[in-house]
Amino acid sequence: MVKGYKSPQKEETEEEKDNVVAFEVITGGKEPPSTGDNWLSKKSIGSCFLAKKRAINPTDFSLGLFRIGAKTEKSVVLNTPEHPGNLYVNPITFCNVFIEFEDLGVMITPQEEEQEKESDNDDGDRIQSPDGGEEPKVE
């Protein structure tokens, strides 16, 4: 090797070192920012509605049919024909993805109706007589 001669490989390496740019990792941003319109949480259990995906494509005409089956502290349980069973969703994220298209009202399932009747008819140990008075329950 000749003195004073720099290898081209060494020059490239030194150039690469000069071109290194420091960057900072920013955490967060895992979900799209909230639009502030959390319309899903305001609906009651049993509410049925049609929703449309927020899409860039204006020719997207399909709607989704959903029913609120239950609510937890932070989530909403949806029932939909597309996903049999319970679909647990974050209501804020759901509202960022879907726009409410039409409210179809409240639909009570036969099981829920039966539960309501049982809770309304639960009068303890007494039954009502034909004349309207209470009689002790006979066992």
DSSP state of 34: P
Buried b (16+ CB within 10 A) or exposed e, 90-100: ebbebbbebee
Instruction: Report the distance separating Cα 102 and Cα 55, nearest Å.
Output: 17
Spell out the domains of the chain, with CATH numbers in brackets: 32-107 (2.30.30)
SS3 of residue 12 by DSSP:
helix
Quote the pLDDT of residue 97: 92
Report whether 64 contacts 98 (CB < 8 A): yes
Which range among 15-19, 57-61, 65-69 shows the weakest confidence by mean pLDDT? 15-19
CA torsion through residues 115, 119, 124, 130, sign: negative
pLDDT in tens, 29-53: 555 555 568 999 999 999 999 999 9
pTM for this structure? 0.56
